[in-house]
Amino acid sequence: MTFEEVLHQYRDVYYSFPQSLKTFLGSLYGNIPLSIRFGKHFSIHQKLIEQFENGSSQFQLDFLYNKTLETLLFSQEHIPYYTDLFSQYGVSPSMFKSLEDIKKFPLLDKPTIKTKIDILHTDIAETPVAYFSGGSLSTPTKYFLPASSRAKEKAYNNYIFSKIGYTYRDRALLSRGREVFKPHKNTFWEHEPVDNYFFLCSNYINSDVFPLIHKKALGFKPKFFIGYPSALLSFIKQSRRYSLSPIALEGIIVASETLYPDELRTIQDFFNVDVLTHYGHTERNAIAYRINDKHYHFLSSYGLVRIIDEEMVTTSFDNFVMPFINYKTADRAIGKTSYYQHSDIVRSIEHIEGRTQDFLVTKDHRLLSITSITSATTTSNRACLAAENIHAIQYIQSDIGKATVLLEGDNINTEKIAQEMNALFKGAIDFDIQTVKRIDKTSRGKRIVCKQTLDIDSLHAQERHSQNIRQSVEDLKIS
């Protein structure tokens, strides 16, 4: 095991140390080269990224084919679930002659993982490490990844962040991940010397202690701000509320939440720097980035990405613990997409909307995306949720045609907003507007924009079916 793999197991002990001791130990460890801390896997992937990104089209296609074949062969030989499934479907790695042949292999989804986890992983090649995701939706989904996956992730993230000028251990504000606050000591921040991050507690940015948080952040003299879009937007709103000037930065990196177009413009206009949006997920099958409003560029040496009915479907590379083959991510690809030549393997996507559950269902079973709802209610001429006293918004739906809208803020006229929203969406959804002191986030400070309990996947399939029927009827009329 590498230094990082060993020490990562004891991170909670390290976090409990007094700040002075953390500063001493963390600074010493942080200055050790990443190639030593993370071991050979970091160096391998660091070199591989450059080779792939600078390689010819044929080199890239050959690489993708060989890596996919490697995943298929390992899965059939060592993962009982795939051994049985391939036999059931009458497929085998020997049938994989080109990248197009990945279509022949069955899909994998989260419900299957939850019920088949015991036969979906192995420890024959590497030590399995348990990860969890989806806790904000329902029961968290458990995955196993190889211990070396953290080294791979670090190499790819460093490469991506460098695209906006970030160098590892540059001074950066961080408002995502571990929450740090000690109200009894009036501290809502913490310096993490290993990566040289200054943590800001996202749960207190919308509180009356913000001026103190802003003062501490300014004193750190950061070059970058890394965080959830919601944390950045809260920081901006509170800065305006207290008439505080923007902190001078060299760039901003956002991740883990869907960044809507109007939110991107707000961040750009306030800080006047480039914004890099990072896309990844717990399963570590796909990774991408975009700068400002450009398309998401996928680093395909990380894993294979396809699109089926607007949903991103991935196949993992380098995972010899729990391989993912044609895995349904529940993330939606929106807009123009470019592919590798003679394949359906994705190079870039115009926009990634996030979970397929981020829709509200109208009375007539149409699907309204949270993207379009956010645009209509916060940036249009009839915007009704753009007031400065509204700090956070959450949509909740359990019945078709009805939705509860939670608003975090002060002195909000819920009656007026309900009337405006019902008029804006022409009665397609009956909105119940409620104010709350605080909208809950996940344990890592991540916002939950939409809590949807309806089966959106089924409704989405029905909607596509209806559209196809309508199109067929129109085609007949034309002919």
What is the DSSP track for 71-130? HHHHHHHH-HHHHHHHHHHT--GGG--SGGGGGGSPPB-HHHHHHHGGGS---SSS-EEE
Tens-place pLDDT, residues 99-125: 999 999 999 999 999 999 999 999 999
How many Å apart are CA 397 and CA 218, to the nearest integer? Answer: 40
Tens-place pLDDT, residues 350-406: 998 766 557 889 998 888 877 678 767 876 667 788 787 888 899 999 999 999 999
pLDDT(478) > 60: no
Element (H, E) at 461: helix 456-478
Mean pLDDT of all residues belonging to the chain: 89
Q: What pLDDT shows up at residue 310?
A: 87
Tens-place pLDDT, residues 74-102: 999 999 999 999 999 999 999 999 999 99
How many Å apart are CA 383 and CA 379, to the nearest integer? Answer: 6
CATH class of 359-458: alpha beta
- Indicate the pLDDT class of residue 472, thresholds 50, 70 and 90: very low
Helices (H), 261-400: 261-271, 370-378
Q: What pLDDT shows up at residue 405?
A: 94
Each domain of the chain, given as residue ranges in start order, spans: 359-458
Percent of the chain topping pLDDT 70: 90
How many Å apart are CA 235 and CA 416, to the nearest integer? Answer: 27
Q: Do the beta carbons of residue 287 and residue 156 sit within 8 Å?
A: yes
Q: What pLDDT shows up at residue 387?
A: 81
Tens-place pLDDT, residues 182-208: 666 677 899 999 999 999 987 788 788
- Indicate the pLDDT class of residue 132, thresholds 50, 70 and 90: confident
Q: What pLDDT shows up at residue 181?
A: 66
What's the whole-number mean pLDDT along residues 248-269?
A: 91
What's the whole-number mean pLDDT along residues 7-17?
A: 85
Q: What pLDDT shows up at residue 138?
A: 47
Q: What pLDDT shows up at residue 136?
A: 41
Higher pLDDT, 457 or 77: 77
Token pair 């501490």 is found at 216
- Indicate the pLDDT class of residue 476, thresholds 50, 70 and 90: very low
Q: What pLDDT shows up at residue 292?
A: 97
Q: What pLDDT shows up at residue 462?
A: 64
134: exposed, middle or buried (Cβ count in 10 Å: 0-12, 13-18, 19+):
middle
